[in-house]
């Protein structure tokens, strides 16, 4: 199947599916074996080599969605990120990282790079000039994340890639918040695209996985590092992920719509100080987001400064106060206590992450029900505060 000529839902549903040649079932068969024949075969298969039947099939779907030549699936988003970074860096190299990134990536950089003699710089902002200001003679890689976690900043992907290519620097991007439904960075010049597939690809809060997509040449480097790090995924989870991805475009588009409605509602809520969502015309990078995204995503964040967060989360009845994101159910979390808890208060402040910030992942429920839940939770907290 030529995936370039197929619609996005068709790619999600059919590209990379395995044919059931025995019983002609409608879904891909699951091959659970960890041990395959080594003689008289074209491919010596082993799970840690990312080449079991289900792994290979899913990677075709992932590559097609990201407009890449190849892909690999890992045991978690951080397994994908750390393996990819270490595939292109070695002692003596320097890497430029965007200021606003996922807390786990930040923690990996500051705790692991020094062990390997790799130096790094964080940008002051997320414009191409901010990246240019941090480039050194030994810079080998630029790392981006857009929209970023948790403040939904938008980076000029094409601008940064043009800068990097002019200096022979590899570019890498975390595309998790956008998903390939809303953004395909390879079309804008990015070399390596990363995902926590735990999020929109899994989409049901029951799968932990990571993805790397790139050219065949770059993926060979990731493969050689990956087989040493051993961050492969079980075939049962691979099979579940392939099943979940069939509805990804439908889910993400519904979440895009809900996030836009909720961002507009929260912007008018007198209890909310600020709303961070690239779909809002008030967002400083709104026009840039329009130019490089097909949809603004299902993630937003907002500041609720005068309401006790502990009580607010406790009184939510529909929205779930949990750590992760991007499931079909709407969820909220405190970045200070979860995703960015490993960062110091000073470093969080540099990124603009306040204690009052709430990260909000929109699901597929009716927005009227979500609004009603938020309003009743705030009302209960206010009543309790007055009583106290």
Question: Can you tell me the distance from the alpha carbon of 379 to that of 131, in angstroms, rounded to the nearest whole number?
Answer: 44
Question: Can you tell me the distance from the alpha carbon of 223 to that of 48, in angstroms, rounded to the nearest whole number?
Answer: 10
CB neighbourhood size of 137 (10 A): 6
Q: What is the DSSP string of 247-287?
A: THHHHHHHHHHHHHHHHHHHHT-TT--EEE-TTSTTSTTHH
Query: Cβ(200)–Cβ(179) under 8 Å?
Result: yes
Query: Cβ(249)–Cβ(282) under 8 Å?
Result: no
Determine the number of helices (DSSP H) and then strands (DSSP E) in the chain: 14, 12
Query: Cβ(201)–Cβ(73) under 8 Å?
Result: no
Q: What pLDDT does 236 receive?
A: 97
Joined tokens for residue 12: 């999600």
Q: DSSP secondary-structure letter at 341?
A: T
Joined tokens for residue 385: 């505060």
Instruction: Give the tens place of pLDDT for each residue, 289-342.
Output: 999 999 999 999 999 999 999 999 999 999 999 999 999 999 999 988 877 887
Contacts of 148 (CB under 8 A, 6+ apart): 98, 100, 101, 126, 154, 155, 177
Question: Can you tell me the distance from the alpha carbon of 104 to that of 157, in angstroms, rounded to the nearest whole number?
Answer: 22
Q: What pLDDT does 290 receive?
A: 98
CA dihedral 58, 69, 67, 127 (to 10 degrees): 120
Question: Can you tell me the distance from the alpha carbon of 16 to that of 35, in angstroms, rounded to the nearest whole number?
Answer: 22
Question: Can you tell me the distance from the alpha carbon of 171 to that of 95, in angstroms, rounded to the nearest whole number?
Answer: 10
Query: Cβ(208)–Cβ(188) under 8 Å?
Result: no
The pTM is what?
A: 0.95
How many residues does this entry show for the chain? 388
Q: Which residues are catalytic?
A: 48, 102, 174, 199
Write down the mean pLDDT value for the chain: 95
Q: What pLDDT does 353 receive?
A: 87
Q: What pLDDT does 336 receive?
A: 86
Residues of the chain with pLDDT under 50: none
Q: What pLDDT does 344 receive?
A: 82
């Amino acid at each position: 199947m030529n995936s370039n000529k197929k619609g996005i839902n068709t790619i999600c549903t059919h590209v990379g599916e395995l044919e059931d040649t025995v019983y002609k079932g409608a879904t891909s068969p699951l091959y659970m074996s960890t041990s395959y024949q080594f003689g008289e075969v074209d491919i010596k298969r082993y799970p840690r080599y990312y080449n079991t039947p289900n792994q290979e099939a899913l990677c075709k779907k992932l590559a097609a969605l990201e407009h890449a030549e190849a892909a690999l699936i890992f045991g978690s988003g951080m397994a994908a990120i750390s393996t990819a970074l270490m595939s292109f860096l070695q002692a003596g190299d320097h890497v430029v990282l965007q200021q606003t990134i996922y807390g786990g990536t930040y923690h990996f950089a500051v705790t692991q790079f020094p062990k390997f003699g790799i130096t790094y710089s964080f940008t002051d902002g997320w414009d191409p000039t901010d990246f240019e200001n941090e480039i050194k003679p030994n810079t080998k890689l630029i790392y981006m994340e857009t929209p970023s976690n948790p403040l939904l900043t938008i980076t000029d992907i094409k601008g940064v890639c043009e800068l990097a290519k002019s200096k022979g620097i590899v570019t890498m991007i975390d595309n998790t918040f956008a998903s390939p439904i809303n953004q395909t960075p390879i079309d804008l010049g990015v070399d390596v695209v990363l995902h926590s597939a735990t999020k929109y690809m899994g989409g049901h809060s029951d799968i932990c996985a990571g993805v790397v997509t790139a050219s065949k040449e770059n993926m060979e480097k990731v493969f050689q590092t990956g087989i040493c790090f051993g961050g492969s995924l079980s075939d049962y989870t691979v099979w579940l992920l392939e099943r979940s991805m069939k509805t990804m475009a439908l889910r993400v588009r519904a979440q895009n719509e809900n996030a836009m409605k909720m961002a507009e509602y929260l912007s008018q809520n007198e209890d909310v100080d600020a709303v961070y969502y690239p779909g809002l015309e008030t967002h400083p990078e709104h026009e840039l987001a329009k130019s490089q995204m097909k949809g603004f995503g299902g993630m937003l964040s907002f500041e609720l400064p005068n309401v006790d967060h502990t009580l607010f989360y406790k009184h939510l009845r529909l929205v779930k106060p949990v750590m992760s994101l991007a499931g079909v159910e709407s969820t909220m979390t405190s970045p200070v206590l979860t995703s960015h808890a490993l960062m110091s208060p000073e470093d969080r402040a540099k990124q603009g992450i306040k204690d009052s910030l709430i990260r909000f992942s929109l699901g597929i429920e009716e927005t009227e029900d979500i609004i009603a839940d938020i309003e009743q939770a705030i009302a209960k907290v206010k009543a309790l505060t007055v009583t106290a």
